[in-house]
């Protein structure tokens, strides 16, 4: 299987934005989809770390390599927010990512990467909603793969630029292949 898509949750975007390394998402020459809910979560408070950088990066690359994916999850959230302005967006970014991945896989995307940074990812209930040909990996694992392919000099140097703000948790390497992507997981990153 050939990976032709990266979908990202909020945490990797924040980490890469703080590390001034959002362009690493473009190095595999595949489409990058940021779910609308995730985009909202990262950019709703412009003063938060990474927010301005992400907005500028999206403006620079949108419609070429980077796309904001529309989801029912975000539409529902906007409707709920009109009823109750205090409604929380908790876990909706992950749900939106799962929605995008299912739609893309249903529309003939062979395999995809979901970038996720939560150390409790195995406990996340949204995993059951993901298609079986999705490789879930942390930002650090993704960067390590780019380093192995000699696309970046050092994954650790990128991550160290964000540790002060994001914490040591971003250094944890996580890779979870779903059922149909063990061949992808075993050969990461050489099969692109």
Q: Note the pLDDT tens digit of each residue in 62-102.
A: 888 999 999 999 999 999 999 998 888 778 988 899 899 99
Closest to 13 in 3D by CA, of 39, 44, 48, 45: 39
User: Torsion angle, CA of 83/88/93/99, rounded to 10 degrees?
Assistant: -40
Contact 18, 165 (CB under 8 A): yes
Spans in the chain with pLDDT lower than 50: 122, 180-187, 189-192
Contact 126, 94 (CB under 8 A): yes
Closest to 187 in 3D by CA, of 143, 139, 131, 149: 149
Question: Which CATH entry fits the domain spanning 3-187: 3.30.420, 1.25.40, 3.40.50, 1.10.155?
Answer: 3.40.50
Residues 130 and 9: their CA atoms lie apart, in Å, by 13
pLDDT at res. 127: 57
DSSP, collapsed to helix, strand or coil, labels residue 152 as: coil
pLDDT at res. 131: 73
Furthest C-alpha separation in the chain: 50
Residues 61 and 29: their CA atoms lie apart, in Å, by 13
- Residue boundaries of the structural domains of the chain: 3-187
Q: Is the pTM of this model over 0.75?
A: yes
């Amino acid at each position: 299987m050939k990976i032709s898509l990266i979908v990202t949750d909020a945490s990797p975007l924040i980490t890469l934005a703080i590390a001034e390394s959002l362009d690493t998402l473009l190095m595999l020459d595949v489409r990058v989809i940021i779910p609308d809910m995730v985009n909202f979560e990262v950019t709703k408070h412009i003063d938060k770390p990474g927010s301005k950088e992400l907005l500028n990066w999206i403006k620079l690359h949108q419609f070429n390599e980077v796309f904001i994916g529309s989801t029912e999850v975000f539409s529902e959230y906007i409707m709920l927010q009109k009823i109750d302005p205090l409604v929380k967006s908790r876990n909706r970014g992950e749900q939106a990512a799962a929605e995008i991945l299912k739609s893309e896989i249903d529309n003939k995307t062979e395999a995809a990467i979901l970038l996720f940074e939560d150390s409790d990812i195995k406990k996340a209930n949204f995993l059951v909603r993901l298609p079986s040909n999705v490789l879930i990996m942390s930002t650090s694992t993704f960067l390590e793969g780019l380093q192995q392919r000699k696309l970046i000099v050092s994954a650790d140097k990128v991550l160290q630029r964000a540790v002060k703000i994001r914490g040591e948790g971003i250094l944890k390497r996580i890779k979870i292949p779903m059922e149909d992507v063990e061949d992808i997981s075993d050969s990461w990153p050489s099969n692109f």
